[in-house]
Structure 1
């Protein structure tokens, strides 16, 4: 359903329609805002948060593994055991896949 901002001002009962279908509100004949039923909005927001958290975890994993690899290139043999332990820890935390 598409309506104008003026129509909403003139007839607030139109908002009841949002319980049945999304409403695209136009302003100057261009999409301006979308009105959706609250439960649908909440589910969309939760899904977006899950995606953002997953992307953030992936970026952290890549940064941590990159840092670990860079450290490996400058350390001496005495630090190799420590590096191996850290790498094993990273695999346990983030999975086997390397960045």
Structure 2
């Protein structure tokens, strides 16, 4: 699966010199996605020490599109009309 980059090379060059970038990737441009992934993992590890980051990320990954024919338990996150809602109580499906 391809790694989707959030930042571009130009973004990096706006805060670091080209020489610094070459040092980070050892002058091999194909290493930029690898360096980004490593940095992302390090950031998550750091945040995980102080916050329940995995729990919060799991919430975002489990948001479901609302379907009138489905019952939902309480405390579930649902997307309806481009808005995200947290159901506090059980929602019964409409028959």
More helix by share: 1
> Which fold has the larger relative contact order, with Cα–Cα distance below 8 Å and residues 6 or more apart in sequence?
1
| Normalised-by-shorter TM-score class | under 0.3
Structure with bigger gyration radius: 1
| TM-score, normalised with respect to structure 2 | 0.27
TM-score by length of 1: 0.26
